[in-house]
DNA sequence: TATTGTTATACTCTATAACTATA
DNA sequence: TATAGTTATAGAGTATAACAATA
């Protein structure tokens, strides 16, 4: 059986932060599969689309840093989104090496649709929590994630 | 820059559950690298070792289910741990197909050492939280993870 | 016929280095 | 010389199917 939060022994697996984060993360990815099945890149593709749709337009390096992923994988994600006309790469007037990523009109529509679908996915994943605790959990998880991002900005100069 | 929890717009990336879980999970895995560098299988290897060290002895199918991983990947994890004499596969007296996995004496010692090292890793990952909120966060995350495990037991009969 | 564990294959995600074109 | 983006390669992690031994 799967461990339940009732055993109480601090050495049990369900007290291991790595186990908890891994299980929660994989459960989220799996729960997304249906909702994002027509979106290239899955959750990652949605995150790129979010930045592109929200604006202002940014270049790929800035997007990779915000997402916490390597800029080499971002190239492929944008390739796939661009191929189905959800985002576009525009020349950066300030720097001819740089390319600004924006959402197309269908891209913004697709983003809103998937955002709505993901609301249900998130509710499903957080369903085990009492309703009054979901906001608390999101707020605390946000602090952990943002803290990690600011500690290890990724693609830091020198590595 | 990395997003900080101060923007407040509900469409921002730092309100996306997938982004938060992914960033937190990858930050944990990265923070583990040094502490678990001599342990085959990394965090997964540690989790197997935890079950084997805590007892009672279980067969591989039961361990895979508790870990939430496929039994085919567990074979490789146990192979690697057995090769360095941290766990052993014993014949199951009740079923000759089944093999019981237990920690060896050096395996139990290694588990205690790594458990101590991981306490610091966990504290590092949870460092952005106010001290009084860490227990709350762990408790809520545990509910989410255990809820997901009991909903999707993995290797369920029929899939 | 179903189950335990193993092996092989493939597909995704990630990490690294090398390359181009600009700065 | 350094940076933005691309490409190629290799390594993990994961999923699937097929297989041998046993129930």
Q: Would the CB atoms of A19 and B47 count as touching at under 8 Å?
A: yes
Enumerate the nucleotides of strand C whose atoms come under 7 Å of any protein CB.
3-8, 12-18, 21-23
Structure tokens at B122: 């966990």
Residues in B 38-67 whose C-beta is less than 7 A from nucleic strand C are 59-61
Residues on chain A touching B114 (C-beta within 8 angstroms):
none
Distance, CA of B155 to CA of B152 (rounded, Å): 9
Give the residue among A103, A78, A50, A133 at the shortest CA–CA distance from B15.
A50
Q: How far is CA A35 from CA A5, A83, A120, A154, in A?
A: 29, 20, 9, 29
Q: Which residue has the tokens 């997901």?
A: B148
pLDDT (tens digit, 0 to 9) for every residue of chain A, 159 residues total? Answer: 334 444 567 778 889 999 999 999 999 999 998 899 889 999 999 999 999 999 899 999 999 999 988 899 999 999 999 999 999 999 999 999 999 999 999 999 999 999 999 999 999 999 999 999 999 999 999 999 999 988 876 644 332
Q: How far is CA B67 from CA A34, B64, B145, in A?
A: 24, 5, 11
Search chain B and give the residue with CA nearest A8.
B139
Between chain A and chain B, how many beta carbons pairs sit less than 8 Å apart? 210
Structure tokens at B107: 């395996």
Specify whether the CB–CB gap between A59 and A99 falls below 8 A. Answer: yes
Q: Residue B94, Cα to own-chain centre: how many angstroms?
A: 28
Give the residue among A154, A140, A143, A151 at the shortest CA–CA distance from A66.
A154
Is the minimum distance from the CB of A70 to strand C below 7 Å?
Answer: yes
Specify whether the CB–CB gap between A103 and A53 falls below 8 A. Answer: yes
pLDDT digit string, tens, across residues B93-152: 999 999 999 999 999 999 999 999 999 999 999 999 999 999 999 999 999 999 998 887
Task: Give pTM, 2 decimals.
Answer: 0.91
Calculate the CA dihedral of residues A73, A76, A81, A85 and round it to 10 degrees: 140
pLDDT digit string, tens, across residues B21-61: 999 999 999 999 889 988 999 999 999 999 999 989 999 99
Dihedral sign for Cα A72, A74, A78, A80, please: positive
């Amino acid at each position: 059986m799967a461990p339940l939060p009732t055993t109480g022994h601090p050495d049990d697996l369900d007290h291991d932060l790595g186990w908890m984060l891994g299980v929660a993360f994989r459960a989220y990815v799996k729960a997304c599969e249906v909702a994002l099945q027509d979106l290239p890149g899955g959750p990652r593709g949605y995150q790129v689309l979010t930045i592109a749709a929200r604006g202002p337009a940014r270049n790929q390096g800035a997007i990779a840093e915000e997402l916490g992923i390597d800029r080499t994988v971002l190239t492929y994600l944008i390739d796939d989104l661009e191929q189905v006309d959800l985002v576009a790469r525009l020349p950066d007037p300030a720097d001819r090496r740089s390319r600004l990523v924006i959402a197309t009109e269908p891209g913004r529509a697709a983003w809103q649709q998937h955002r709505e679908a993901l609301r249900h996915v998130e509710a499903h994943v957080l369903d085990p929590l009492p309703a009054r605790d979901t906001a608390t959990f999101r707020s605390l998880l946000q602090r952990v994630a943002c803290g990690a991002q600011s500690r290890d900005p990724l693609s830091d100069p020198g590595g």
